[in-house]
Amino acid sequence: MMVYFDARSAAVIADPYPALRALRDHDPVHWSDRLGGWMLTRYDDIRRSLRDPRLSSDRMRPFFSHLPEDARRELRDLGEHMALWAVFNDPPDHTRLRGLMNKAFTSSAVAALRPRIAELVHELVDGLLERGETDFIRHFAYPLPAGVIAAMLGVPRADVDRLKQWSDDLGSFVLTSRLSPDKYTRANTAIREMNAYFGDLVEARRRQPADDVASALTAAGERGDFLSRDELVAACVLLLFAGHETTTHLLGNGLLALLRHPDQLLALKDNAEDEKAVSAAVEEMLRWDGPSLAQVRILADDYELGGRVMRKGDRVFQMLAAANRDPEAFENPDAFDIARRDNRHLTFGFGIHFCLGAPLARLEAQIAFPILLDRLKEIGLAGAPDWSDSIVVRGLNRLPIHCSAA
């Protein structure tokens, strides 16, 4: 059976799951001319591949090295910066960079944010109620995680909107927008401005340390842990970018799933004080329509799977969203069931590149949804959701809602 995945189709962008199911059932190791790479869709194949060193995360250096010379010159800032992100490096560089970031992004630092997260949630719900009809992404799902990660980094709240614009421009490149023709130049400009901003922040923390992640990263570098100034800046940019992107889409996709499944919304309301029930609900949001559509790797060596031989240098799209709906891994996988247990989804990845910010994303959602459902007695869709066209992230540009306290 011939199966075709049209990554630019409006229908696929809005709901990729039928097309992913067809690939998983009939062509689980699929070559896509449109994407210029292989697509893996089975849970076991993807889980194994996420830990296989032959699938390299170092995809930025090859990308920029193959550009024409004039393009490489024009996008030099972008190329040099992206090569320093831990997520785009393999061991041993990844091990060193990730280890230093782990020292700053500790579980105790995340747990200490609980009161601040609850305070921000209540503040943002006040704003939703004042508006009555609004865009949930713009007025809640983005500003909550952006405000939290900015506070962790030591970024003034007044600068968050400016950083969001830079982050959006960078995201159109990093997250592989399918429809943005000027994404490279926008991302390059954004990186220049973010580098200048965080360069100033790092220098300020060298002079006067504070109780924040930027200070902790700077202190690690000064202890001789081999974190250069450029790596410090890149780590701050990565944490800001990744620290809000995933959580924004967890909140947006999660609320949309609840609104489309009112029985599950009511069940979550009824169990909002049960921490285990809330945690299970968040895990199901992550699995059923989570913020990760795919991860992208470059083959460092030939790789055989399912009778297909993928060659060194080929791109591989590990379709996490397809894995999370695989009936071989999940019972009744297309059902949205917030009481699901043993939820071994791959939304945050697996292995050495498991998402550093996963505990923070989970915590924010676990705090946000009970407060939202308690204070918003009436909530519903006020228009059609507008989905991002990214092939990497699964998320909403807009989610129009109406809400009230009565």
What pLDDT was estimated at residue 57? 93
What is the rounded CA–CA span in Å between residue 175 and residue 391?
Answer: 7
Give the single-character DSSP code of 342.
Answer: S
Domains and CATH numbers, the chain: 60-288+351-404 (1.10.630.10)
Question: Residue 68, class by beta-carbon neighbours within 10 Å (0-12 exposed, 13-18 middle, 19+ buried)?
Answer: exposed
Residue 137 DSSP code? I
In sequence order, the β-bridge partners of residue 272 are none
pLDDT value at residue 7: 81
Largest CA distance in the chain: 64
Mean pLDDT of the chain: 89
Which of 226, 259, 250 minimizes the C-alpha distance to 393? 250
**Taking a C-beta distance cutoff of 8 angstroms, is the pair 23, 5 a contact?**
yes
Residue 203 scores a pLDDT above 80: yes
- Residue 386 in tokens: 């507008």
Q: Where are the alpha helices (DSSP H) in 349-402?
A: 358-375
Q: State the Cα–Cα distance between residues 272 and 251, nearest whole angstrom.
A: 16
* 310-364 per-position pLDDT tens digit: 999 999 999 999 999 999 999 999 999 999 998 999 999 999 888 888 999 999 9
pLDDT tens digits for range 155-183: 888 888 888 788 878 877 776 555 555 77
| pLDDT score recorded for residue 258 | 98
C-alpha span between 9 and 12 (Å, rounded): 5
Which residue blocks in 60-182 are alpha helix, DSSP H?
60-65, 69-74, 76-82, 93-104, 107-111, 114-131, 136, 143-153, 160-174
Write the CA distances from 31 to 5, 57, 237, 311, integer angstroms. 10, 19, 33, 12
CA distance 177 to 182: 10
pTM of model > 0.75: yes
